[in-house]
A and B are shown apart, each in its own frame.
Chain A
Amino acid sequence: MDVFSDADNLDVYVTGFLWILKLTLVGTLGAVVIGTLLAAFRVSPIPVLRGFGAAWVNIFRNTPLTLIVFFCYFGLYSTLGVVFSDDLELNNFWLGVVGLAVYTAAFVCEAIRSGINTVPPGQAEAARAIGMTFRQTLTMIVLPQAGRAVIAPLGSILIALCKNATIIGTIGLMESSNAMKELINSNGQAVFQIFFVFAGTFAVVLIPTGYGFGWLANKMAVKR
């Protein structure tokens, strides 16, 4: 009666978590790149860039990810005809990645900006005093120090991203939550077993990851 000894069921489980893994990896890359750029925009001397960064953060941070993913599918894909891949499943994957990255980038931006705030102003003033430009000050003095302070909040943002990847199931990707739903519907006698295997997988991976980021943040912290 063991649900997961059935090869088909095991396959559903593995495929589900492989999608989560791929979404997390690609989504993280996108979110960190866009988020860092947005943070740089928000502290730059150019008002248009600052406004753009602020608008992005305020719009996407306050909109539910479900709505963003919904919009990516029905708006970008169905209505506006934005197509990433001919393979339907792969196309849904990329639409999901866009939604995840755009949403999470707003949080990454705010985390980096508050990381910048932990750097004493004297550092930037000293950099300016020896004639560094804004870009030099930011990339050579401020961001490397801010990066260490940002590890802990960034860690929780990335863990949230991994959990949020389940929401991409809304647009028909067979990721873990859809996989669990399917297994529950065909194996009503073992709902608890199925739930604890799926939830347990997340817990076993994410709880140590959280502590790992905490440890790393501590180790890398700038002692002031």
Chain B
Amino acid sequence: MLKLLIQRLSLGLMLLVASTVLIFVGTSILPGDVAQAILGQSATPEALENLRQEMGLNDPALTRYFSWVGGILHGDLGTALTNGADISASIARRLGNTLFLAFWAAIISVPLAITLGILSVRFRNRWPDKLISAVTLATISLPEFIIGYFVMFLIAVKLRWVPSVSLINDGMSLAEKLNAIALPVIVLVFVVLAHMMRMTRAAILNVMESAYIETAELKGLTGAQVIVGHALPNAIAPIVNVVMLNLAYLVVGVVVVEVVFVYPGMGQYLVDHVSKRDVPVVQAAGLIFASVYILLNTAADLIAIVSNPRLRHPK
């Protein structure tokens, strides 16, 4: 099993290296000139020329790639071209906010999804199952911003329970922060719930066909005991996989929710810099997003390996 784990980890590492190459090549072939993007319509030719020289964008690509990767290994992501800010510092803050939001959305949505999945297996094809499926499928089918505007209108504007703008800052207490992010958390829970719940339901149902489940039922266990004690542990691998995918989505896919609720996270930060052709920031953000995906997927695989007795105790 150790060999399998090491193999899987090194595969993740190789993927990471490959993604640095892809990100670098991808951002290098982007059309457009940073200096012009920064100055926009108000660029005078003099100002444009001065800015271009100052930025020194004329080094060969290979040199820039290795100095970039070298910098990353030292924890230095460079400085943003547009405002000269240190990228590591700005990203740390933004990433912290994104993780904070993702954490609370996950804390609520993952147990909820698995519980609902188990419930719908327990009451398979009866009204609780149908109700759960209908509601979760409806929320996943609506675009995020529609759900966002809907809860904003209802809860923030009409009822005035929580703020419509989810700004958080260091000076706020945890309770204040949670109050501020209530709406985006609700929206994110709606968005990721269905996927995980459906997968839990399908994976458990798949196992429910097995002979040992029949044995468990025959020896007199209740429906809930069979599902939680016998079916769930054997369905864990696909569930963990889909949970990890959704966790990754909570980190890298929340641009729209961040914009709607004015939440200062990574998504908004990346969009701002893409539109300004700020290549170092786009590269850094791309790398972080790729790392999150690779990390969570590797974790899912590792959990699947560890949770599988046949892999844990090879003959």
A, B assembled together: no
